[in-house]
Amino acid sequence: MGAQPPRPGLTGEELAYYRAVEDLFARLRGTQFIFSPKDFALLRRWWGEQVPLAAVAAGIAEVFERRQREGGDPVSSLAYCRHAVTRHARRLVAAAAGAGREAPRFDVGEALARLVGEVRGVAVRRHGEPALAGSLEALAAALETVPPGAAPAAVDELLGRLEVTLVAALVDALAPAERAEVEARVERELGAVELAPDIRDRSERAIRLRAVRELLGLPRLELVAP
């Protein structure tokens, strides 16, 4: 993992947390990337503060999406994501604290467990494709860290961010023929329609997400009342 050996006494769960964040960051950059000592210190702090992996993934996805939208250079340090990660984590904690004062519309934990099961099911079906199965397993692991007591609105917002991560990771992990199929669908559905650049970019992402979801048989990442 990165440039630093595991610290003495590092648990398997903690190491998996670090590797999941490092792998996600590299996937979104599109290149191998080694965290700096400062980045590792931030990771250790998040682990120590029990920041859910889902909040970390959502925050990183938010920053990468914003940087791409603005046409800036790729994110070069985990530190650039710290405010977004903190914001997502605080929303989950605040939502969980306030959820008990409301009558829940449905069981958030049960809905999340259903999503995890469906994502893992796709990972099992694609076990012969390590990069793809690994990305799906990482998504399932992140979903498992969402506090089940959080309010639906806060969870849905976080799930929307994770879908951004989903597309970035899974499109790159697809076999070349399937990737070409997805991109052909994007071009076919958009066609030669004249759109403002920002609207076209959002439309491309939405079509690409739908195409990947349907190709793999993935569920929509949202809470649905039973």
The CA distance from 91 to 99, in Å, is 12
Position 3 confidence tier, pLDDT thresholds 50, 70, 90? very low
120 close to 139: Cβ distance less than 8 angstroms: no
Given a cut of 80, whether residue 53 has pLDDT beyond it is yes
Which 8-state DSSP code applies to residue 174? S
Mean pLDDT of the chain: 84
| Mean pLDDT of all residues in 9-18 | 83
SS3 79: helix
Q: pLDDT band at residue 148, thresholds of 50, 70 and 90?
A: confident
Structure tokens at 103: 């009558």
Mean pLDDT confidence for 51-55: 91
| pLDDT reported for residue 116 | 95
Rounded to 5 degrees, φ, ψ at 147 are: -60, 120
Helices (H) and strands (E) in the chain — how many of each? 9, 0
Q: Are 173 and 131 in contact (CB under 8 A)?
A: yes
pLDDT band (50, 70, 90) for residue 5: very low
Residue 150, token pair as written in the block:
């959080």
DSSP letter assigned to residue 100: T
Per-residue confidence at 150, pLDDT binned at 50, 70, 90?
confident
Which pLDDT tens digit goes with each residue over 108-129? 889 999 999 999 999 999 999 9
Quote the pTM value.
0.77
pLDDT reported for residue 201: 81
Q: How many CB atoms lie within 10 A of CB 61?
A: 26
